[in-house]
Amino acid sequence: MTDTARTPKPVRSSGTFTLGAGSTGATTVHRLGYGAMQITGPGIWDEPADRAACIAVLRRAVELGVDFIDTADSYGPEVSERLIFEALHPYPEGLVIATKAGLTRQGPGQWLPVGRPEYLRQQCELSLRRLGVERIDLFQLHRIDPKVPADEQFGLLADLVSEGKVAHVGLSQVSVDEIEAGRRVVPVVSVQNLFNLTNRSSADVLAHCEAEGIGFIPWFPVASGALTGPDTAMGSVVSETGATPTQVALAWLLHRSPVMLPIPGTKSVDHVEENCEAATLQLTDAQMAVLNEIHDAS
């Protein structure tokens, strides 16, 4: 690996956020992380075509200052967690690995929620084993299973915290009411919802997270696509900054809210370097205003 002491760490320019601020065992991370969903095969299924390249991406992300990696037992399934262990264990001090349970896989691109407490407990135990840790830094309920009482799912998460198997709890793709229902049972330090330049359907959830000091992890954080032409709002900011559309999209998220924790994913070293450099991009108020006016496709 590269001499990390001499490697520039652009991610540190993203600032920090403390998960569980004010509580015992609070955890501080830099706000630009890495999402490990894409280091699998097509449809988030099976092994990647180039396993060595994915391991190189994970190691390069950490070299560039990433100290927050998000994964899930269902990515592969199991593939992403195993690759993280292979690439990074024993983990460098301060590296926070978040994982999720609650979605099962039936094939490429297929996902089915299962939130029975015994299943979630089993998946936590298996993630502990695959990641090679005694406690999961952030354990997230991937989806609330509508077939199981929500309080039973939240209660299991609370049990895992009290047993010392989980440090912090997060929820994924939830409403404000669901966040508050969860918080009545277990402290919730993060929420992972779909959010990007063209889909802001979770704006109310983001506002709630800001008010309550909850980290907001936007999944699918980069959505530029047709926005990138030279005569578009995105194109004008790209031209002014000299950055790439991806960097502008990530910088917009970081500037959008102090609780925002983007986790762009890739299986390319070049792309992970591009993503990490987004942390250094400073957008002006005028540029933010232009980006804020981009059509919300949600």
Active site residue ranges: 75
**Cα gap 167→14, rounded to integer Å:** 24
* β-bridge pairing 190-194 and 215-219: parallel
What are φ and ψ of residue 241, in 5° steps?
-90, -25
- Asked whether 228 and 238 are in contact (CB, 8 A), the reply is yes
**Cα gap 86→100, rounded to integer Å:** 19
Q: In what order do the strands lie in the sheet with 68-70?
A: 34-35, 68-70, 96-101, 136-141, 166-172, 190-194, 215-219
E strand or H helix that includes residue 259: none
**Cα gap 291→248, rounded to integer Å:** 9
Burial letters 97-131, b for 16+ CB under 10 A, else e: bbbbbbbbbeeeeeeebbbebebbbebbeebbebb
DSSP 222: -
Q: Which of 254, 251, 256 is nearest to 240 (CA)?
A: 251
Q: Tokens for 161?
A: 């915290």
What's the Cα-to-Cα distance from 252 to each of 122, 132, 153, 260, 285, rounded to whole Å?
38, 35, 34, 10, 11
